[in-house]
Amino acid sequence: MSTTDEDRRREAALDACIDAARDSAPVPSAALLARVLDAAEAEQDRIAARHAAVPRAPRAGLWARLRQGLGGYPALAGLAAAGVAGIWIGMALPALLPGTLPGDYVVDVAPDLALDTGGDF
Amino acid sequence: MTMPLDAHDDRSDDALLAAFARGDRAAARALTLRLTPRVLAHAARLLGNRAEAEDVAQEALLRLWRQAPHWRAGEARVTTWLYRVVANLCIDRQRRARGGAVALDAVPEPPDPAPDVPAQMQARARADALQAALGALPERQRQAVVLRHIEDCTNPEIAEIMDTTVEAVESLTTRGRRALATALAARKEDLGHVDD
């Protein structure tokens, strides 16, 4: 028998043993599966307990969060004043807008800017 | 305690592990049923001892459960991670147990096969002979051969599990196969491999 034949036979014998080993893989017992699952569920409970134990600051109300978001009471006061002023200007001064009085004119402070060349004035 | 053995779940290992971390009991069952057989089989191949393999499987899966909340999907495969944990646990046990791997001579000889022996007995004898021969291999050769030829892992996967290069894996599996073939050739009459 040649060395090559012998090698081939050895390989075939090894493959037969590997196939047999694959087919005879140990099957976990019901007891092992139960122990593994018990540990899994216990760990899930621990994870949930850890999440529940993390202290959380009480959630502020909508008004408080809005106030904080805008910068507190001073910012709110300024905002309110600006709003009132805007309303007053809108109601009291439309007659003073350019083009509403005879002989009014517009001073172009930056005549080179393209913005001005296409304007509606 | 009862556990439905048909707790089949099509979700990937990664998806199941994420669900596990959110407290999904069905994911815990599915992962237990899917992974325990693989982990147990791998540990049994590396240790050659069923009882110790059960302990290793249980410990490896416990570590996976603890890792679940921190698991980053897509970084590593769950099975790759588990094979690595199993190998480390097995190596620790073998080093603690003085003497390490079981010598081939220490494993009982398979029963003498009579010409009319049932096929199952022959298969059993072959599987036992392979296990004994695996036990005689150096740790890393054994791990590489088991991952490549029994667990069907690719060489890059094995390299990741064993924290080495693909070339080193190829060398380990080649030398391991050669050693196994030599060990088994000495028992070819027992195992039913007769020359043509």
Model pLDDT for residues B48-91, shown as the tens digit of each residue? 999 999 999 999 999 999 999 999 888 889 999 999 999 999 98
In a domain, A104, yes or no: no
Say which of B58, B184, B188 has its CB closest to residue A32. B58
pLDDT for A58 beyond 90: no
Question: Per-residue confidence at B6, pLDDT binned at 50, 70, 90?
Answer: very low
Tens of pLDDT, residue by residue over B98-124, are: 554 444 444 444 445 454 556 778 888
Co-location of A71 and A87 in the same domain:
yes
Please report the sign of the dihedral spanned by the C-alpha atoms of residue B140, residue B144, residue B145, residue B147.
positive
A76 belongs to a structural domain: yes
Task: Please say whether the dihedral angle defined by the alpha carbons of residues B100, B103, B108 and B109, taken in this order, is positive or negative.
Answer: positive
pLDDT at B100: 46
For chain A, say whether B26 makes contact (Cβ under 8 Å): no
Give domain status of residue A42, yes or no.
yes
Give residue-wise pLDDT tens across range B144-185.
Answer: 999 999 999 999 999 999 999 999 999 999 999 999 999 998
Domain membership of residue A106 (yes or no) is no
How far is Cα A38 from Cα A68, in angstroms, rounded to an integer?
A: 48
Chain B partners within 8 Å of A30 (Cβ): 3
Which candidate from A12, A33, A48 shows the least CB-CB separation from B23? A48
> Do B27 and B20 contact (CB within 8 A), yes or no?
yes
One domain, residues A50 and A72: no
Q: Where are the alpha helices (DSSP H) in chain B?
A: 13-21, 25-47, 50-67, 78-96, 119-135, 139-145, 155-162, 166-185, 188-191
* Chain A CB contacts of B7 below 8 Å: none
The pLDDT, as a whole number, for residue B30 is 96
Task: Indicate the SS3 state at residue B151.
Answer: coil
A73, part of any domain: yes
Q: Residue B9 and residue B28: Cα distance in Å, rounded?
A: 11
Alpha-carbon span A95 to A104, nearest angstrom = 12
Average pLDDT of the segment spanning A17-23: 91
Please answer yes or no on whether B68 and A13 come within 8 Å at the CB atom.
no
Residue A107 lies in a domain: no
Domain tally for chain A? 2
d(CA B101, CA A66): 69
Give chain A positions within 8 Å (CB) of B62: 36, 39, 43
pLDDT attached to residue A105:
62
- ipTM of the predicted structure? 0.80
Q: Identify whether residues A45 and A69 lie together within a single domain.
A: no
Backbone phi and psi for residue B97, each to the nearest 5 degrees, phi listed first: -85, 25
The reply to whether A89 falls in a domain is: yes
Instruction: Provide the pLDDT for residue A100.
Output: 58
**Short-list B3, B196, B164, B121, CA closest to A5:** B196
Contact between B57 and B39 (Cβ < 8 Å): yes
> Residue A115 pLDDT more than 70?
no
Mean pLDDT of A63-85: 77
Q: Burial level of B183, CB count in 10 A (0-12/13-18/19+)?
A: buried
Quick check: A43 and B66 in contact, CB under 8 A? yes
More confident residue, A30 or B122: A30
Identify whether residues A50 and A75 lie together within a single domain.
no
Do A66 and A92 fall within a single domain?
yes
Task: Give yes or no for B46 touching A (CB within 8 A).
Answer: no
B100 backbone φψ class: left, alpha, beta (φ>0; ψ -120 to 50): left
Supply the range of the domain harboring residue A52: 28-57
* A84 lies in the same domain as A70: yes
* Whole-model pTM over 0.80: no
Phi, psi of B108 (to 5 degrees): -60, 140
Flag whether pLDDT at A16 surpasses 50.
Answer: yes
For B147, what's the count of Cα atoms within 13 Å in the CB-facing half-sphere? 29
More confident residue, A114 or B175: B175
Q: Is A110 inside any structural domain?
A: no
Main-chain phi, psi angles of B134, to 5 degrees = -60, -40
Average pLDDT of span A69-91: 78
> Closest chain A residue to B177 measured between Cα atoms?
A14
